[in-house]
Amino acid sequence: NAGVTQTPKFRVLKTGQSMTLLCAQDMNHEYMYWYRQDPGMGLRLIHYSVGEGTTAKGEVPDGYNVSRLKKQNFLLGLESAAPSQTSVYFCASRRWGYTFGSGTRLTVV
Per CB under 8 A, 86 contacts another protein:
no
60 binds another protein (CB under 8 A): no
Assess 14 for contact with another protein (CB under 8 A). no
Whole-angstrom distance, CA of residue 102 vs CA of residue 97 = 16
Q: Residue 51: left if φ>0, alpha if ψ -120 to 50, beta else—which one? A: left
Q: Is 22 exposed, middle or buried (0-12, 13-18, 19+ CB in 10 A)?
A: middle
CB of 98 to another protein, least distance (A): 5
* Alpha carbon 57 to chain centroid, angstroms: 12
In the complex with another protein, the residue whose CB is nearer, 17 or 105, is 105
Question: Whole-number minimum distance, CB 60 to another protein, in Å?
Answer: 12
Note whether 1 binds another protein by CB under 8 A. Answer: no
Stretch 17-56: interaction string toward another protein, x if CB under 8 A: --------------x-x-x----xxxxxx--x-x-----x
Give whichever of 59 and 79 is closer to another protein, judged by the CB atom.
59
Shortest Cβ distance from residue 22 to another protein (Å)?
A: 17
Rounded distance between C-alpha atoms, residue 12 and residue 109, angstroms: 7
Residue 97 contacts another protein per CB under 8 A: yes
d(CA 90, CA 30): 17
Residue 103 backbone dihedrals phi, psi, to 5 degrees: 95, 155
